[in-house]
Amino acid sequence: MTTDVVNQAVAIDIHGLYAAYQRQVVLENIHLAFPAGKWTAIVGPNGAGKSTLFHVLTGSMKALEGSVNAFGEPIARHRRAGQIAYMAQREAIEWDFPVSVWDTVMGGRYGHMRKDALWRRLLPARWHHARHAEAVHEALMAVDMREHAARPIGALSGGQKKRVLLARALAQQASILLLDEPLAGVDPPSEQLILAVLRREREAGKTVIMVTHDMPGARRYVDHVVLINRFIRGTGAPDDMLSEAKLAELAVSSIEQTATDRQTRPAASYSPAQG
């Protein structure tokens, strides 16, 4: 566990993680702890491995090496229990498909529906679905999109689409929210709304972890910051991690990393033990 969160409850604990695409290592020797019930921002340049880290946490990508625990247990257990919600940076959603806002947000409940006891599933649909419908309703209310519930998702603006994707993650009622650039490409009112929603989630005891390039926003709202560029470059309080000096160091690490990548062969025979 990293020293700055040693006295706090930990939601996600990562040990010695390596991740690679076609054996090109993009995350190296990651040791990281995300404090529970706090709002963490992950900050790093383009290509730093931020989304890759989320892919590993959500289980869509297998780590080369290392372990990831959530609340002291293997993270897979929490994923299966629907306790980790994820909002991707680029959604694999077919926006032109004629599906409504309501049904899209209901997608956040599928993990829970699968776990429903058989007797519950045999109830008439309106009873079976009641608590799922309630969760969808609440999530749409939270992002101020309830009145758009019946609209096809293809008819929404970019900011509204982001809100719907956030609502889908909220509807899951998970204890950990992973959000990949939730503020990218949204107008100021949507940004304010999303930030207010995330603040409420944190106040409700949820662990919020978001990738962001919005430094002023992160300085104002988050509790904890992780600087990353293939390696962890720093973790700590926003005022320390987002200082001009730290961000300059991170930018230099990016230039150095690019130069090193150009000089070295693709890591076709890479082994972390050699690294």
Ligand X SMILES: Nc1ncnc2c1ncn2[C@@H]1O[C@H](COP(=O)(O)OP(=O)(O)OP(=O)(O)O)[C@@H](O)[C@H]1O
At 207 the three-state DSSP class reads strand
Question: Of these, 35, 44, 82, 238, which contacts ligand X (CB under 6 A)?
Answer: 44
Q: Could you tell me if 42 and 209 are in contact, meaning their C-beta atoms sit under 8 angstroms apart?
A: yes
Distant-in-sequence, close-in-space partners of 137: CB < 8 Å, separation ≥ 6: 146
Q: At closest approach, how far in Å is the CB of 72 from ligand X? A: 27
Question: Of these, 34, 39, 40, 50, which contacts ligand X (CB under 6 A)?
Answer: 50
Helices assigned H by DSSP within the chain: 50-58, 75-80, 101-106, 110-115, 118-121, 125-128, 130-142, 158-171, 188-203, 215-221, 238-241, 244-263
The neighbouring-strand residues paired with 179 are: 87, 210
Q: Which is nearer to ligand X, 89 or 271 (CB)?
A: 89
Q: Which is nearer to ligand X, 46 or 269 (CB)?
A: 46
Query: Which residue do the tokens 């950990």 mark?
Result: 176
- Helix, strand, coil % over all residues of the chain, rounded to 5: 45, 25, 30
Question: Of these, 2, 40, 52, 212, which contacts ligand X (CB under 6 A)?
Answer: 52
207 binds ligand X (CB under 6 A): no
Q: At closest approach, how far in Å is the CB of 226 from ligand X? A: 12
The site for ligand X, by CB under 6 A, has a size of: 11
47 binds ligand X (CB under 6 A): yes
104 binds ligand X (CB under 6 A): no
233 binds ligand X (CB under 6 A): no
At 205 the three-state DSSP class reads coil
256 binds ligand X (CB under 6 A): no
Q: At closest approach, how far in Å is the CB of 90 from ligand X? A: 9
Q: Which is nearer to ligand X, 101 or 210 (CB)?
A: 210
Q: Which of residues 73-102 bind ligand X (CB under 6 A)?
A: 89
For residue 146, give the DSSP letter.
G
Distance of alpha carbon 122 from alpha carbon 124, whole angstroms: 7
48 binds ligand X (CB under 6 A): yes
184 binds ligand X (CB under 6 A): no
Q: Which residue ranges make up the site for ligand X (CB under 6 A)?
A: 21, 26, 44, 46-52, 89
